[in-house]
Amino acid sequence: MVDGRPMNIQDVARVAGVSAATVSRVLNGRDSVDAEMAARVRQAVAETGYVPNSNGRALRRQVSDVWAAIVSDVQNPFFTGMVTSLESVAAQRGLSVMLCNTDEHLSRERVYIQTAIAQRMAGVVIAAASAKQSNLAPLLTAGIPVVVVDRRVDSYTGDTIFVDNHLAGRLAAEHLMQMGYNRIACIAGPSEVSTTEERLAGFRDALSKGPHPLSPSMVRRTNLRPEGGEVAMRALLSSPHPPDAVFTTNGPLTVGAYRAIQAAGLEMPHDIALVGTDDDQWTRMVVPGVSVIRQPVAQMGALAAELLLSRGSSSHSAPQHIVLDPELLVRASSTRRA
């Protein structure tokens, strides 16, 4: 406060030693300001406690200072980790992030898309509910920058950031074959979700090159929840020829499979090996530790933010399609039994 009034943009400019126009450009995320000068402006904002009037800025610019992060399952640590990274970059640029959880429902996804349009949001990062049925056209028609992450949308040709999911499945299969397992199973999600479908395809392709191809009876499809993974794992264990190793295609499915193996009184890897997906904290805390395919979650969120920022300043460049590599982390759950 100065003389009983809130700090304004002129106060920030005076502290930073720049013009009010320069402060405005920095707060609006423009790339035309020298990096050292922009840092001085952000420091002055912090020192003065200046809070931009987002409503006024939205009216002037016809866009808000908010991004929407539309994800399919907010309880999945993969998505919360990605949004945390996205939000970190947004905060540095004076933007906020609204987290929207579709819970795998297309109807909710449509509502959030309409909300983003109605609120004139500055950008949308979305992990869509369905490759075939999700519709991003209303966002593009409204001129809102969109970055599709994690899951493909068949009708969308704009900016995307994916993990090489075929490689993820292949890494899991090759590791289990190298360890000498031969009755290898896979717990996968619905076929309309591109990530789980591509991981299953990579897993199957790798096993087809070995002595024990993936049998149809060794594949269990379910929803993408821990409960689904648990039910699928129990079904595999109760089959006439249960597996000696299993790969789960996302983090929640890994949780469910681990629970079912424990409940059955089996030991990993002596009775059955497990390779999961996502390096969640619990996978490093349990005994035995769980081997996983780690995805570059933080990198994905940061790159999505940078793409939105670039689209905010220029929408005419060609779409970017970024594919990140996963990594196999081998722990005790899948090392070969003695």
pLDDT above 50 for 114: yes
Residue found under tokens 């699928």? 232
What does the longest C-alpha to C-alpha distance in the chain come to?
81
- Of the chain, the end-to-end C-alpha distance in Å amounts to 70
Q: How many CA atoms lie within 13 A of 306 on its CB side?
A: 9
What CA–CA distance (Å, rounded) separates 160 from 237? 38
β-sheet with 321-324: strand ranges across: 96-101, 66-71, 123-126, 146-149, 160-163, 321-324
How does residue 171 score in pLDDT terms, banded at 50, 70 and 90?
Answer: very high
Question: What are the tens digits of pLDDT across the range 47-100?
Answer: 887 766 544 454 444 567 899 999 999 999 999 999 999 999 999 999 999 999
How does residue 3 score in pLDDT terms, banded at 50, 70 and 90?
Answer: low
Q: Give every CB contact of residue 153 below 8 A, 6+ residues apart in sequence.
A: 128, 130, 131, 134, 136
Residue found under tokens 């809070």? 51
* Per-residue model confidence (pLDDT) at position 77: 95
What CA–CA distance (Å, rounded) separates 67 from 307? 12
Reported for 43-46, long-range contacts at CB under 8 A and 24+ positions apart, including other chains, are 43/16, 44/12, 44/13, 44/15, 44/16, 45/12, 45/94
What would the DSSP string read from start to end of 120-184?
A: T-SEEEE--S-TTT---HHHHHTT--EEEESS--TT--S-EEEE-HHHHHHHHHHHHHHTT--SE
* Per-residue model confidence (pLDDT) at position 59: 43
Amino acid 1 reads: M
Q: Give every CB contact of residue 304 below 8 A, 6+ residues apart in sequence.
A: 82, 86, 125, 147, 149, 161
pLDDT > 70 in the chain, percent = 91
In terms of pLDDT, which residue wins out, 278 or 29? Answer: 278
* Per-residue model confidence (pLDDT) at position 61: 47
Mean per-residue pLDDT for 194-219?
97
pLDDT > 90 in the chain, percent = 77
User: Which tokens go with 300?
Assistant: 């994905």
In terms of pLDDT, which residue wins out, 23 or 154? Answer: 154
Q: How many CA atoms lie within 13 A of 250 on its CB side?
A: 30
Average pLDDT taken over every residue of the chain: 91
* Per-residue model confidence (pLDDT) at position 338: 45
User: Which tokens go with 239?
Assistant: 């089959």
Question: What are the tens digits of pLDDT across the range 26-42?
Answer: 776 666 678 788 888 88
What CA–CA distance (Å, rounded) separates 152 from 21? 40
- Of 266, 128, 248, the closest CA to residue 192 belongs to 128
* Per-residue model confidence (pLDDT) at position 35: 78
Helices (H), the chain: 9-16, 20-27, 35-48, 54-61, 77-92, 106-118, 137-141, 165-178, 194-208, 226-237, 251-263, 281-285, 297-313
How does residue 10 score in pLDDT terms, banded at 50, 70 and 90?
Answer: confident
The torsion angles phi and psi of 67, rounded to 5 degrees, stand at -100, 150
Mean per-residue pLDDT for 158-163?
97
Instruction: Yes or no: say if 253 and 228 are a contact pair by the CB < 8 Å rule.
Output: yes
How does residue 44 score in pLDDT terms, banded at 50, 70 and 90?
Answer: confident
Q: How many residues does the chain have?
A: 338
Instruction: Yes or no: say if 142 and 161 are a contact pair by the CB < 8 Å rule.
Output: no
pLDDT above 90 for 248: yes
* All domains of the chain in start order, with CATH: 9-52 (1.10.260.40), 61-162+296-324 (3.40.50.2300), 165-295+327-334 (3.40.50.2300)
How does residue 306 score in pLDDT terms, banded at 50, 70 and 90?
Answer: very high
